[in-house]
Amino acid sequence: MIITPESETYRVNVLYVTGQSVSGPHKTLEGAEKKMKEEINSGEVASVSIVWHHWTESRKGGTYEHQEKRIEDWKMSPEQVEAARQKSLLND
């Protein structure tokens, strides 16, 4: 049985007011939090979350474990989302 090292990432999930969604991995919580703050400060996102992912895998044994936990979550109010969406449409 070949056991791979455990893997841990912090994924920043972003939903923009335009409806586009983007998700990107970060190796550290600090990096993920920095990206989250940048997105919030842009004023163009409806929601941002950081999800911790942890994988343990053994290739030949056929076992694979994945754990995840949402550790931070930020959402804009529906009224703010609509105002930001209208503003972005005017700027295009």
pTM of the predicted structure, to 2 decimals: 0.78
State the pLDDT at residue 25. Answer: 93
CB atoms within 10 A of CB 65: 10
Contact 65, 56 (CB under 8 A): yes
- CA nearest neighbour of 46 among 92, 10, 90, 83: 83
pLDDT tens digit at each of 92 positions of the chain? 344 566 889 999 999 998 899 999 999 999 999 999 999 999 889 999 999 998 887 666 667 788 899 999 999 999 998 888 888 888 76
Contact 32, 50 (CB under 8 A): yes
- Residue 87: helix, strand or coil by DSSP? helix
